[in-house]
Amino acid sequence: MVMALSSKNTGAQVIEFLMICFPGMQDTQHWLSILLAPLLVLALGANFVLLMTIWQEASLHEPMYYLLAILSVLDVILCLTVIPKILLIFWFNMKTISFSGCFLQMFIMNTFLPVESSTFLVMAYDCYVAICHPLCYSSIITEQFVINTAIFIIFCNLVGPLPTPVLAARRNYCASNVVENCICANISVAKLSCGDNHLNKLYQFMSVWCLLGSDRVLILLSYCSILRAVSSLQSGGAATKALSTCGSHLIPILFFYTLLLVFIFTNKAGKKIPSEVPILLNVLHHLIPPALNPIVYGVHTQEIKQGIIKLFKSWQGRFF
């Protein structure tokens, strides 16, 4: 059993952290696994089906569906980075996480969440071009465009948030090693360091609002332009089809940013809101969007729905 270091023991360097998860729910927090475990299975299963459908169905080998595939891969990575460890804490009381493992988790979260946000931005741009400039769509949204955009997004979101976990990892952790969170979030871990962590907090704040904030503004502008273009369509059927196409993209985007903003504001509220609330929202933000995204796209996108039906029929003929 690993004991938490005393705050008085300033001579010992922390080599691992103890994840307390929900400080005020130690006796009952394991019941949350009844919600988290099925959602994890749903998220992994739904994204696996979506990826297999896009891979096997030749008609889905188009830029728009490649973006959905990228989104699914990001969702799976974020799920597997966070949720299995939380379930191990709930089921087997495996609260310890190594020093390097903690900051690797922090790095993945700080990198892939902005990448997912930027992917939503590209999907919004895809809808904008499809509705506002339909004649130019095939010449603008190409496979090369998706490749170049993916490289640019990964580079920007790798370089931008990178100093956050690096700055946190380079600090001197010589006091308590108890993380009052289910996740190695920068705020929860950095406050355990012995020195001043204002630079770490400031950089995270700036990087988050610069990357995610700019994405939100551009997505909002894209959909405002789309709504203006749709309102000018004289054909009611064309307007309905355009809104249906973009609606399937807009639902996951709204859910992603709404949950993220609620988490940020509840976290900033401090003692006015129980600490368990932002922790739970942070956990759900790594689980509900990955479970929701493939279902929404599968239900609202006719081509994907038909591809999934064909996939299940092929599996049925092969195994039954």
How open is the CA angle 148-154-160, to the nearest 5 degrees? Answer: 130
The DSSP-derived string for 168-237 is HHTS---S--EE-SSS--HHHHHTTSSS--HHHHHHHHHHHHHHHHHHHHHHHHHHHHHHHHHHT-S-HH
pLDDT for 12: 58
- Helix, strand, coil percent content, the chain, rounded in steps of 5: 75, 5, 20
- Can you give the pLDDT of all 320 residues of the chain as single tens digits? 444 544 444 445 778 899 988 887 888 888 999 999 999 999 999 999 999 999 999 889 999 899 999 999 999 999 999 999 999 999 999 999 998 999 999 999 888 888 998 999 999 898 888 888 888 999 999 999 999 999 998 888 887 777 788 878 888 887 678 998 999 988 888 888 877 667 776 777 777 667 677 888 888 888 888 888 777 765 656 566 666 667 777 778 888 888 777 877 777 766 678 888 888 888 988 899 999 989 888 877 888 889 998 888 888 777 66
How open is the CA angle 77-172-8, to the nearest 5 degrees? Answer: 115
pLDDT for 5: 46
Contact 248, 295 (CB under 8 A): no
Phi, psi at 223, each rounded to 5°: -75, -25
pTM for this structure? 0.87
Q: Which residues contact 294 (CB under 8 A, 6 or more apart)?
A: 46, 47, 49, 50, 72, 75
pLDDT for 84: 95
